Amino acid sequence: MANNSALLEQILANTYTTSDAYKRLLVLEDVLQHTLFEKGGGTTTREQHLYSQYQSPAERAAAEAVAAWGTQLFDAFNKENLNADIQALKNSIEELPRMVVYAPVIFEAKHIEEIGSWCRKNIDSRILLDLRIDPQATGGCMFVWHDTLHDFSLRYFLKKRDSEFRKIIADHSVASSTSAAGAAAQ
């Protein structure tokens, strides 16, 4: 196999989340097994198999990402090394730095790429995001980096200033009661 690190860098070029990394490796492995072990497998049937087997929008996105890795990556594998090298790539992915991001929504692919690119530029060039949906992160997000939770949700900031909000509400209630009593007296 070609240099595992070079293959991993090629995969990371368009892969920003742990779930995408594992999903795409499964697609790669499936295509390689078809190409290497079934009769008629080869370069032309590789793309045919890739696009014929993965039809749903999510599967299609994974297939297109794998196809973008190019023939050089596919050609790095052969019958003798396929299983060991795929496992080595999975192990390498396990060792990458990971940031868990809690958000109240599912991000679109373009937003995942923007966030992932920013994280790679500013935090770690090989970081993978572990995206999780958490409705309590409304109005922001939370993330875990190096075992520390960073909470930037609206809930956190409201809780942090709870006494101030209670005073504002109490003052507003008193003001409303006074003006209502004055209006009733007229």
DSSP string, the chain: ---HHHHHHHHHTT--BHHHHHHHHHHHHHHHHHHHHSTT-SHHHHHHHHHHH--SHHHHHHHHHHHHT-HHHHHT--TTTHHHHHHHHHHHHHHS-EEEEEESSPPPHHHHHHHHHHHHHHT-TT-EEEEEE-GGGTTS-EEEETTEEEE--HHHHHHHTHHHHHHHHHHHHHHHHHHHHHHHH-
Above pLDDT 70, what percent of the chain? 89
- Residue 50 has a pLDDT of 80
For 62-118, the pLDDT digits (tens) are: 999 999 998 888 889 999 999 999 999 999 999 999 999 999 999 999 999 999 999
pLDDT above 50 for 134: yes
For 66-80, the pLDDT digits (tens) are: 999 988 888 899 999
The reported pTM is 0.79
